[in-house]
């Protein structure tokens, strides 16, 4: 055991960032407030300019402040957070497929994740027909060049312009063309979502596989999500497999790292005694 | 439906990055090779300098190249990847607790994730006694200032200096002190890992909860993990709850985003027919 004791194992910049976070979330530093300058913060905290700069970087990364070119750093308005429990979400969506349309119309999966209601959400859907590139051909287990339906979904809170999440979904075109309503983006948001759409063409999902990764946003994503380029995105590649073992949909979900988290609960079997 | 057809829905910089990725992974551009300059790439690809710059940024983010100040951008040697299936990993660890020590010595969870053997891995463990700050007090459901055992684990491949993953684990000090062997870092790597350690003090886990997030690395993390500051980290806050409902361990796992992924498989219940 080494000899470090006490509560100071975190770097100093992080301690300063935590202090400033408390001031922002408590409202002492209100949205729109210009943050104190690096010099002021260095003076009041007794830390180096480098530590102060790292603390500010940390606040940007948490999405609490925004640097405006040549004007300084401002406190942001709090943003809607998304906390997704995907294991429960997927089963919940599946259970809803067999409900009446009236029930399915009432709420969707994003409401489930955010606690918002249908009225609080804006929904943007865009469909295009594309051909499978190498990546999608491998993911969907089809030949390169196979026609695909590409669906882009951006879901936003009514109180914010930037989407909470973006999803890029790909399905074999010939599969979905069996129900022409599934080719028309104006039918979105579809009551009951993707699993109900698949149900209309006789598809039942057996399982959903997820690959979760972290990466910086592309320049387009940073703009769309209204995040500092120094904020990461959390991505999920979601592969849906039906009861015959066929891959029926691959979706790439992009979530802004400053206000999103994925939650999983793993129940363990008891030891036999 | 809008009218975009064909396979060109990806931005051009990404298409160039993909082409360069194939050249790197196929060995046409070998490790240590100086990458062509922006001007050369702009000339040969017909893309703008901005697109070329974004393509190079993308390669850095994938961990395929490294920018060296004033010297140019070099192809990196391929790095060990980690693909963690945590749901299966946790149950696997639990099942191993009751095996003989000989069995437990043979392999651990990191070998399980990487396909490496015990001999391929370097293991660094460091223990300190700290006091719970606000965050850990809330996570462990203890009073602020409660003594904790803080354990830092860095696991590396023998062929690389940078860790594959870093884990920062916190347990109530008084709980683990019941077995003094658990206070001594020189007993690491402990055969059978944390769940076996807890078993020696009469603790059986009921479930593990995970919160998965994405963020940029701190300056220290970027240096330790040997990643470009433009690479993100994937983090898991892992909360272990025993069969009496008590939180017995909270661990923050940090994985470099250029070579790590978390994989989950969600089996769905069949519709009743």
Which tens digit of pLDDT belongs to each residue from B109-146? Answer: 777 777 777 778 888 999 999 999 889 999 999 999 99
Residue that terminates a domain, selected from A75, A99, A121: A75
CA of B106 to nearest chain A CA: how many angstroms apart? 21
Does position A3 have pLDDT exceeding 50, yes or no?
Answer: no
Largest CA distance in chain B: 69
Say what the ipTM of the complex is. 0.88
Min CA distance, A87 vs chain B (Å)?
A: 6
CB contact under 8 A, A1 and B230: no
Q: Which of B268, B125, B94 is nearest to B189 (CA)?
A: B125
| pLDDT higher than threshold 70 for residue B242 | yes
> Do residues A117 and A196 both lie within one domain?
yes
**Average pLDDT rounded to a whole number, residues A50-69:** 89
Asked whether residue B119 is domain-assigned, the answer is yes
A vs B, Cβ pairs < 8 A, gives: 206
Give chain B's radius of gyration (CA, Å).
23
**What is the pLDDT at residue B8?**
55
Closest approach of chain A CAs to the CA of B111, in angstroms? 20
Give the tokens for residue B158: 């023998």
Q: With beta carbons under 8 A apart, name residues in chain A contacting B58.
A: 218
pLDDT band, very low/low/confident/very high, at B1 (cuts 50, 70, 90): very low
Same domain, A88 and A139: yes
Computed over every residue of chain B, the mean pLDDT equals: 90
Judging contacts by C-beta atoms under 8 Å, the chain B residues touching residue A125 are none
For residue A74, the cross-strand partners are: A34, A66
Q: Using a CB-CB distance cutoff of 8 angstroms, which residues of chain B are in contact with residue A90? A: 266, 268
Contacts of A150 in chain B (CB under 8 A): 9
pLDDT: is A273 or A3 the higher one? Answer: A273
pLDDT digits (tens, 9 = 90+) for B19-74: 999 999 888 999 999 999 999 999 999 999 999 999 998 898 888 998 888 888 99
Classify each residue of A83-107 as buried b or exposed e, where b means 16 or more C-beta atoms within 10 Å of its C-beta.
ebebbebbbebbebbeeeeeebeee
- Give me A98's structure tokens: 């067999």
Report yes or no on B3 lying in a domain: no
Q: Are residues B199 and B250 in the same domain?
A: yes
| B71 and B93 together in one domain | no
**B272 domain-assigned:** no
Helix residue ranges per DSSP H, chain A? 12-25, 38-45, 49-61, 86-97, 101-106, 109-114, 134-140, 173-176, 193-199, 219-225
Q: Using CA atoms, how far apart are residues B260 and B86, in angstroms rounded to an integer?
A: 13
Q: Which residue of B has its CA nearest to A51?
A: B219
Phi, psi of B130, deg, nearest 5 = -130, 175
Chain B residues in contact with A51 by the CB 8 A cut-off are none
* Residues paired with residue A239 on neighbouring β-strands, in sequence order: A209, A250
Q: How far is B264 from chain A (nearest CA, A)?
A: 5
Same domain, A53 and A102: no
- Indicate the Cα dihedral angle B189, B226, A2, B246, nearest 10°: -60
User: Of A61, A205, A261, which is closest to B211 when you measure between CB atoms?
Assistant: A261
Question: What pLDDT does residue A8 have?
Answer: 55
Same domain, A53 and A138: no
CB A113 within 8 A of CB A82: yes
Give residue-wise pLDDT tens across range A76-117: 988 888 999 999 999 999 999 998 888 888 877 777 777 777
B130 CB-contact burial (10 Å; exposed 0-12 / middle 13-18 / buried 19+): buried
What is the average pLDDT across A195-217?
Answer: 96
Domain that holds residue A34: 12-75
pLDDT value, residue B11: 82
Q: How many structural domains is chain A composed of?
A: 2
Say whether pLDDT at B153 is over 80: yes
Whether residues B109 and B161 share a domain: the answer is: yes
The arithmetic mean of pLDDT across residues B169-193, rounded, is 95
The answer to whether residues A212 and A107 belong to one domain is: yes
pLDDT of residue B107 exceeding 80: no
Residue of A nearest to B258 (CA): A215
What is the CATH number for B50? 1.10.10.10
Is A213 inside a domain boundary?
yes
**Cα–Cα distance, B183 to A31 (Å, whole number):** 46
Q: Are A184 and A127 in contact (CB under 8 A)?
A: yes
Q: Are residues A151 and A39 in the same domain?
A: no
A48 secondary structure, DSSP code? -
The per-residue pLDDT for B6 is: 39
- The dihedral over CA atoms of A62, A17, B234, A91, expressed in degrees to the nearest 10, equals -50
């Amino acid at each position: 055991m080494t000899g470090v004791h006490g509560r100071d194992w975190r770097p100093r910049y992080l301690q300063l960032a935590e202090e400033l976070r408390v001031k922002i979330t408590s409202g002492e530093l209100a949205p729109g407030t210009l943050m104190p300058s690096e010099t002021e913060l260095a003076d009041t905290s007794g830390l180096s300019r480098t530590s102060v700069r790292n603390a500010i970087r940390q606040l940007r990364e948490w999405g609490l402040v925004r640097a405006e070119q040549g004007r300084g750093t401002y406190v942001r308005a709090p943003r809607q957070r998304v906390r997704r429990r995907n294991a429960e979400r997927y089963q919940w969506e599946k259970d809803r497929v067999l409900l009446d349309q009236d029930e399915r119309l009432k709420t969707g999966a994003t409401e489930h994740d955010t606690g918002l209601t249908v009225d609080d959400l804006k929904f943007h859907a865009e469909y295009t027909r594309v051909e499978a590139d190498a990546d999608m051909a491998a993911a969907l287990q089809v030949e390169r060049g196979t026609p695909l339906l590409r669906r882009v979904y951006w879901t936003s809170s009514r109180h914010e312009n930037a989407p909470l999440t973006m999803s890029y979904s790909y399905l074999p075109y010939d599969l979905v063309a069996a129900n022409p309503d599934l080719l028309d983006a104006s039918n979105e948001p579809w009551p009951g979502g993707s699993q109900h759409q698949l149900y209309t063409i006789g598809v039942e999902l057996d399982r959903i596989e997820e690959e979760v990764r972290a990466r910086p946003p592309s320049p387009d994503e940073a703009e769309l999500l209204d995040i500092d380029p120094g904020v990461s995105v959390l991505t999920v590649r979601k592969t849906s497999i039906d009861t015959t073992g066929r891959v029926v949909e691959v979706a790439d979900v992009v979530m802004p790292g400053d206000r999103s988290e994925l939650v999983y609960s793993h129940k363990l079997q008891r030891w036999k005694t």
